[in-house]
Amino acid sequence: MKKWIITGSVLAVLVAVFAVSRGSGDASKGGDDMPVAVAQKGDLIIDVLEGGNIQALNFLEFRNEVKLPNGIKILEIIEEGYYVTEEDVAKGKVLVRLDQSELEEAIVDHDVQFQQTDALYAEAKQNIEIQESEALSEIKAARQALRFALLDFQKFVGAEAAQETLKKLGLPFDNDSLASYEKEATDLIVKAFDAQKANGSGDESDDSNVASFALVANDSLASNVNFGDFLKEEVLGDGEAEQTIRRMRDEALVASSELSVVEESVEGAKRLHEREFITKQTLENELVGLDKARLALQRSETELELFRDYEFPKEAEKMLSLYEEALLSLIRTKREKLALMSQIYAKYRTVKRRYELELKKRENMEEQLASCVIRASQVGLVAYGGANTDYYTSRYYEGISSGATLKVGQPIITIPDMSKLGVEVKIHESHIKKIELGQKVYITAESVPDKTLTGRIAKVAVLPDSNASRYNPSLKVYPATVEIEGTHEFLKPGMSAKVEVIVDELENVTYVPVQSVFVENGQHFVFRKTLTGYERQIVEIGAHNNDFIELRKGLEEGDQVFLKMPDDYQPAQVDKSRIARRPVAPAAKEKKEDATAANEEEKPRSGKNA
C-alpha cells in the first residue's frame, strides 16, 4: 500500500512539473549539456581592439628630389641599420650618393639658354631707362613749348586781354591752370588705357574707348573769337599789338604834321613865284614835296587801318591757335609716350618673367644636384624607404639598394627619432564614431607581450584610407595615430603591436558574454536557464566590447544564460503578407530604418546572434 502511495506522489509531481513547463510562455526543456555563462554585475570597460605597427612620430626622411625622365641610380648607400653617431654628423658622413652625370649635362645645356635670357633681360632693363628718359625729355619740351605759346599770346594782346579771352574759351590762362589741365588730361589718358586693358584690347592704336577732351574739335576755338572787338571796346592790353598801333598812329600824326608844313611851304612858294622871286622849277620842287607828304600820310593811315582790320586779328588768332596746338601737342605727346612705355613695360615683364622662370629652373637644378649627396645630419638608426611606406606604395617603387633606379619623390632612407614613438592603426568604419582625440590607449608589442604600455589618441583621419579600399572598395578604414607615453628601449620601429582604445568605463552594470545575446525581429533576447530547461528573455542592451555586452533590463546578477541557441528552439514566424498589406508612413519607415541601422552598429554579432 505504501509503495503505491509513493508511486502516486512521484507521478503527481511529474505531472505538475509537466503542467508548469507546458504553461510557461517560452520556457522549454532540455539544455543540460549547453554551455552557460552567469550574468555579472560590476565595472565594464568598453574598448576597441586594433592592430598596427610601431613607428617614430618624428623622423628625418630623405627622398629623391632629382626630376629626370628615366629616374636616377644609386651609386652608394649606407647599410640599413647603421647607427649614425654625433661624430658622423660633425664630419658630414655620406649616407647616399646618386649618379649625377645626367643632371650635370642638363645643367650645362640649360646654362646656354639661361645666358641668352639673362642678356635679353639686361637689354630690356636698359631700354626702359632709355625710353623713360627720352619720353620725359619730349614731354618736358612740349610743356615748355606750351608755356612759350601762352607767353607769346599774352605778349601780343596783353596779359589782361589774354586772360579774359582764355577764361571765356575755358582754356588754361596761367601756370596754375596749366598744371591742373595737364593733370586732368593725364588722368583721362590713364583711365582710357586702363579701360582698354580691362576690355582686353591689345591694339594701342584703337581710340574707340579713349575719352574725348574739351579741346578736341573740328574747328579751332580761336576762330570763334572776334578780335576786332578788342579795338572797338578798347580792351586790348599793353601788348605788342597795342605798341604797334601806337607806333603807326604816331607815324600817321608825324606824316600829317609834315604835310601841314609842306602845304604852308607850297603856299609861300606860290606867292613868291607870283612875284617872280623864285623860279618855276623851285615851285615845282615844292609841289613834288607836297605830293610826297600826302602820300606818306596816306600810307601811314592805310598801314594803320590794315593792321587794325586784318593783321591784328590774323596774328591774334594765329597766336591763340598756336597756344591751342601746344596744349594738344602736350597731351598727344603724353599719350604717345604712355602707349610706347606700355609696350616697353609689357615686353620687359615678358622678358623678366622668362628670366625668373629660367633662374628658378636653374636654382632648382642646382638644388637637385646638391641633393644627389645625402650626408648625416641627425643621430639615429638608418632605415631604408619611408617612415609611412605601406604595402600599396611599396609595390610602386623599386627596392632600395646600390644600383637601383629611384623615381621622383621615392623615399630613400629614414632616420627615426627614437625618443617619441607611436602606433599607426587603421580604425574600421564601424568603430570610428567611438574614437576621439585624447582617449586612453593600452599598447602591447607582439615581441614583448608581457609588457603593456599606455598612450593617447593623437590623430584621427577625416577621410578613409584610399589605398586600403583600392582592392576592396567595401573596406573603409580610417588611419589613426597613437602616441606612446614615455621612452622604451625595447621598442623598435616596424614592430607589430596591438592597441586597445578605452572608449568608456562603465561602473556597476550587468553584463554577459556577447555570444549569449541574440536578435530577432528587431528584439534582443537571451536564453535564460531555468530548472526545467530555458526561457527566452527579452533584454535591453547597452554598450559592448569584443567580449561582453551591457544589459540594462531583462536579467539580474547571477542569472545563467546559454552561450548558443538551443537546437530545439523554433524562431517565431512572421506573417509577411500582413506586413506587406499594412501601410507604413514614410516618417515611420525612415525612423525604423534608422533604428535598425543603430542596432546593427551596436550589436556585436550578425545573423542569429546579437
pLDDT by residue (tens digit) across 564-580?
888 888 886 655 444 44
Q: What pLDDT sits at residue 203?
A: 47
Query: What is the pTM assigned to this prediction?
Result: 0.52
Which candidate, 152, 176, 183, 172, places its Cα nearest to that of 215?
172
8 A C-beta contact, residue 357 and residue 184: no
CA distance 563 to 65: 60
Average pLDDT along the chain: 79
Residue 489 phi/psi, 5-degree rounding, is -70, -25
Q: What pLDDT sits at residue 511?
A: 93
Q: What pLDDT sits at residue 6?
A: 33
Question: Could you tell me which CATH number the domain at 59-100+373-414 has?
Answer: 2.40.50
Q: What pLDDT sits at residue 177?
A: 84
The domain locations on the chain are: 24-41+507-602, 59-100+373-414, 114-203+211-364
Q: DSSP label at 489? A: T
Residues paired with residue 528 on neighbouring β-strands, in sequence order: 535, 561
pLDDT less than 50: residues of the chain: 1-26, 201-217, 576-610
- Look at the domain 24-41+507-602 and name its fold: 2.40.420
Angle formed at CA 324 by CA 318 and CA 329, multiple of 5 degrees: 120
CA distance 425 to 496: 10
8 A C-beta contact, residue 561 and residue 36: yes
Q: Say whether 509 sits in a helix, a strand or coil.
A: strand
8 A C-beta contact, residue 35 and residue 484: no
Q: What pLDDT sits at residue 188?
A: 80
8 A C-beta contact, residue 610 and residue 603: yes
CA distance 473 to 497: 26
Which residues 6+ apart lie within 8 Å of 430 measured at CB?
601
Angle formed at CA 445 by CA 439 and CA 450, multiple of 5 degrees: 105
Give 599: exposed, middle or buried? Use CB within 10 Å, 0-12, 13-18, 19+.
middle
Q: Which three cell numbers stand for residue 281?
A: 622849277
| Sole residue written with cell 593792321 | 307
What is Dmax (Cα atoms) for the chain?
Answer: 224
CA distance 248 to 231: 14
The residue count for the chain: 610
Same fold, 24-41+507-602 and 59-100+373-414: no
